[in-house]
Homo-oligomer: A and B are copies of this chain.
Amino acid sequence: MKRIGILTGGGDAPGLNAVIRAVTRKANNANCEVLGFQEGWKGLIEGITMPLDWSNTDSILPLGGTILGSSRTNPFKRESGVERILENFRRFDLDAFVAVGGDDTLGVADRLYREQAFPVVGVPKTIDNDLSATDYTFGYDTAVNAAVRAIDALTTTAQAHRRVMVVEIMGRHAGWIAAGAGIASGADVCLVPERPFSIEEVCEALKANRARGKMYNIVVVAEGATLKEGHTMTQAEGTDEFGHVRLGGIAPALAREIERRTGLEARHVILGHLQRGGSPTAFDRILGTRFGLKACELALAGDFGKMVALRGNSIEAVPLSEAVGEMKKLGEEYLAIIDEFTR
């Protein structure tokens, strides 16, 4: 094998640079070159490259984001997208390809492999940790720690003013980050998409906390948390079920409603991009490195159509098609922990 191509697609996740570095190092050690393509599939379609070697990847482990840049370009949705990918693959004299990304990026990889025999290996990436094919994805640990640090810091100001602090966490469809952050920060209430809530129960829990003598509260809410069927937060005219048609975000609506119903002062913070940014944790740097090494090993061995995955403590190869399988919802154990601490 002479030359491997690599790209990173979709939303960035801390740990992407660890993958890029590991693929480059292992390939170079096996006398194989690595060529980076910039901004996801767009780079391969348009031939925008960046040679990767020892010197420009050696020091990138502490960096969040991806030195290759990313995008959501889908070659199947661009005219001649697939043709140009195959053409550039030949033009740049590649023997194998590593695609790092979420279900969109890997879905493209899988289809290229199946329909065009494109020699590709996948590395799963989602900060949301909701891919069923792998136990953990890199970026998740960094996101949870960022949220926990933020909540720890918010605690003192909440306490000073005897406030309820509502913290909105990433997670539209699965509550992994919210549950991790909620459990690790000792939140008094933790709302996730997997378990619809009622505003009455939330307010009861907060009042019970105050009755025990607690002077402040933390409410963690995933952006995708929803109300139980038939429940609403407010009847205010012209608003949706959360009372926030024009106000964006579940956290402000929830804070307002808690304040109205309990008389406790409530404020909100939306962590947003802060959960995605910043230097990856040790866990994510190591997981990214392990994924990268295994992906490169598969590529060097010509074992295509696979993606790497963490299963228990070992890194395994599974069919690429699994990447686009079922979404991994929060498991029973985590839901039980939330129950134990917020009843």
Question: Which residues of A are at the interface with B, using a C-beta cutoff of 8 A?
Answer: 8, 11-12, 14, 16, 21-22, 25-26, 29, 39, 54-55, 58-59, 61-66, 69-71, 135, 141, 144-148, 150, 152-162, 165, 180-181, 183-186, 212-215, 246-248, 252, 267-270, 272-274, 276-279, 281-283, 285-286, 289-290, 293, 311-315, 333, 337, 340-341, 343
Contact = CB atoms under 8 A, between A and B. Distances in A.
B312 A157 contact: no
B154 A277 contact: yes
Given A58-B214, A246-B246, A278-B153, A289 B65 contact: no
A274 B277 CA distance: 15
Contacts of A267: 272-273
Contacts of A183: 285-286, 289
Interface centre among A165, A314, A341 (most CB of B within 10 A): A341
Given A66-B160, A157-B12, A285-B184, A313 B135 contact: yes
Query: In the assembly, how many copies of this chain are there?
Result: 4
A300 to B, nearest CB: 12
B141 A282 contact: yes
Given A252-B248, A285-B183, A162 B277 contact: no
Contacts of A61: 184-186
A154 B270 contact: no
A23 B177 CA distance: 24
Contacts of A155: 59, 62, 65, 277
A70 B265 CA distance: 13
A286 B69 CA distance: 30
A7 to B, nearest CB: 12
A276 B157 contact: yes
Contact of A247 (B12, B39, B247, B276): B247
Contact of A212 (B11, B22, B54): B54
A118 to B, nearest CB: 24
Nearest to A214: B58
21 contacts: A25-B340, A62-B185, A64-B160, A135-B312, A146-B153, A148-B285, A153-B274, A155-B277, A157-B273, A158-B277, A165-B273, A183-B286, A183-B289, A184-B285, A184-B286, A246-B247, A274-B274, A289-B337, A290-B333, A293-B340, A314-B333
> Which 8 residue pairs spanning A and B have beta carbons closest together?
A153-B278, A64-B156, A65-B156, A12-B160, A65-B160, A153-B277, A312-B312, A246-B246
B343 A150 contact: no
Contacts of A65: 155-160
A211 to B, nearest CB: 11
A69 B267 CA distance: 16
A215 B39 CA distance: 12
Contacts of A248: 247, 252
A90 to B, nearest CB: 28
